[in-house]
Amino acid sequence: MGDDASPLLTDLSKLCQRHKFFVCFVTSFHHYLNNFIFINLIMGDSEGVYTYWQLEDIADFLKQRSNNIFPKVAIICGSGLSSIANVVENPTEINYDEIPYFPKSTVEGQIGSLVFGTILEVPVIVLKGRFHFYEGYSLSKVSMPSRIFKLLGCSFLIITNAAGGVNKKYRIGDIMMIKDHINFLGFSGNNPLRGPNEDRFGDRFPPMNKCYDKDLRKQAVRIAKKLGLLRKLHQGVYVHVAGPNYQTVAETKMLAICGIDAVGMSTIAEVIAARHSGLIIFGFSLICEEGILDYSSNKKEPDHYDVLEAVKAMEQPLQEFVKLMVKYIGTKTPCTCGSAH
Ligand SMILES: O=P(O)(O)O[C@H]1O[C@H](CO)[C@@H](O)[C@H]1O
Ligand code: HPA
């Protein structure tokens, strides 16, 4: 500092040099405090809303760790469905707890890691475990992976879940392609897009009438035929209930009256954020229980371990099914998709 600096500044400078560690600590703490106040009070983190720069940080971290895989297709594995990732070639696996700002997977059957690699030469990212509203996460957190997929350059999303059957015709082990959904949480004001719109992802009022791509569903029928799965394949409407409890008999009856075919506690928030970002979606539910629609039913009560067992029994055919779907998607460009119902 020059001679003309004020005595006060000179003293301060000396003090700083003498107490470098203390200064570092105060600066870091100040930085932390600023971020904390910024995120919590201004960006509303009391509701768990991610800022755009946090999402960019996550995406940048993943780009550095992706082993030069630039994924075209993202896959979200539902409960027990993580074995889908076994078909990924040259996998690079990253645990969620290594990734900045990533929540933890707390549910049995959700591994809590993601994999970069290829499936039949198509570059993919596969999430072995998702985040649920009932775990206490905001819908911004639940749907965060969809925005990360967009930032990583993905154009397609294959989203999967374990679900309860509502449609009386559905049996355990059936596959329901999601044709449409009913966002029950949205009716009560819970929507992943609630809050200031992030224009860098999409419009304030995104349409949702073409959520699940028609062409991909048509191709799935062809693939199911080839794999001998046609008898098990359905197309239907999925509903997201908050959970974590399974439905009462009256609730299942009401869902049936509403035209719902399968019920789960996930998927829709991720789909809404993905559509907001322009991703093209193929979704399916693996039916893990048959809906209990009358009080005298002697069907077994729903249980998460039975859910995981039902999924396990279908592990191998589902891997083949997803593999061939990815192969088909590999031949497509986003503009040849996005078709109507
Ligand atoms: O939807 P995924 O994550 O597949 O899991 C389903 O299975 C769990 C209940 O058994 C719930 O988490 C429900 O949503
Ligand atoms: O019956 C169910 N209800 C809600 N979520 C589920 N996930 C698997 N089965 C169910």
98 and 12 within one domain: no
Ligand 1 centroid distance, CA of 184 (Å): 16
Give me the CATH number covering residue 313.
3.40.50.1580
ipTM of the complex: 0.97
Tell whether 265 and 153 lie within a shared domain. yes
Give the number of the ligand closest to the Cα of residue 260.
Answer: 2
The verdict on 22 and 96 lying in the same domain is: no
Q: Residues 130-156: what's their mean pLDDT?
A: 96
Residue 265 corresponds to which tokens in the numbers above? 């506690």
Rounded CA gap, 318 and 181, in Å? 22
- The ligand whose atoms approach the alpha carbon of 308 most closely is 1
Decide if 329 contacts 216 (C-beta within 8 A). yes
Under the banding of pLDDT at 50, 70 and 90, the label for residue 336 is: low
Average pLDDT of the segment spanning 183-195: 93
Verify whether ligand 2 is closer than 6 Å to residue 109 (CB atom): no
303 pLDDT higher than 70: yes
Shortest-distance ligand to the CA of residue 128? 1
- What's the rounded mean pLDDT across residues 22-44? 43
Name the residue with higher pLDDT: 335 or 153: 153
Residue of 320, 330, 261, 304 lying closest to 78 (CA atoms): 304
State whether 89 and 127 are in the same domain. yes
Name which residue sits closest to atom 12 of ligand 1, judged by CA. Answer: 265
Angle subtended by helix axes 214-226 and 315-330, to nearest 10: 130
Distance between CA 124 and CA 157 in Å, rounded?
10
User: What angle in degrees, to the nearest 10, is found between the helix axes of 315-330 and 304-313?
Assistant: 60
Q: What is the pLDDT of residue 19?
A: 53
Structure tokens given for 190: 């819970």
Note whether 198 and 52 are within 8 A (CB): yes
Q: Whose CA is nearest to atom 8 of ligand 2?
A: 163
Judge whether 3 lies within some domain: no
pLDDT at 20: 53
CA–centroid distance, residue 136 to ligand 2 (Å)? 18
Specify whether 15 is located in the same domain as 122: no
What does the block give as tokens for 32? 């932390």
Is 128:85 a contact under the CB 8 Å cutoff? yes
Structural domains in the chain (count):
2
The proportion of the chain whose per-residue pLDDT surpasses 70, expressed as a percent, equals 84
Domain-embedded: residue 170 = yes
- Looking at the fold, whether 56 and 92 belong to one and the same domain comes out as yes
Asked if residue 235 and residue 322 are part of one domain, the reply reads yes
13 and 139: one domain? no
| Residue 41 CA, ligand 2 centroid: distance in Å | 36
CB 163 less than 6 A from any atom of ligand 2? yes
Q: For residue 197, is it within any domain? A: yes
The reply to whether ligand 1 has any atom less than 6 angstroms from the CB of 107 is yes
Kindly give the distance from the C-alpha atom of residue 337 to the centroid of ligand 1, in angstroms, as a whole number: 28
- Phi, psi of 136, deg, nearest 5: 105, 5
Ligand nearest to the CA of 300: 2
CA of 162 to the centre of ligand 2 (A): 7
Residue 155 within a domain: yes
Question: In this structure, are 19 and 110 located in the same domain?
Answer: no
What does the pLDDT read at residue 17? 56
Residue 2 forms part of a structural domain: no
Task: Pick the range with the lowest mean pLDDT from 35-44, 46-55, 132-141, 271-280.
Answer: 35-44
pLDDT digits (tens, 9 = 90+) for 70-119: 999 999 999 999 999 999 999 999 999 999 999 988 887 788 999 999 99
Both 163 and 236 in a single domain?
yes
Residue 150 near ligand 1, beta carbon < 6 Å: no
Segment 206-234 mean pLDDT: 96
| 165 has a pLDDT exceeding 50 | yes
Q: Three-state DSSP class for 107?
A: coil
Q: Residue 67 pLDDT more than 60?
A: yes
Judgement on whether residues 28 and 160 belong to the same structural domain of the protein: no
Cβ(103) to ligand 1 under 6 A? no
Relative to the CA of 77, which ligand 1 atom is closest?
A: 4
Residue 341: inside a domain, yes or no?
A: no
Q: Are residues 226 and 143 in the same domain?
A: yes
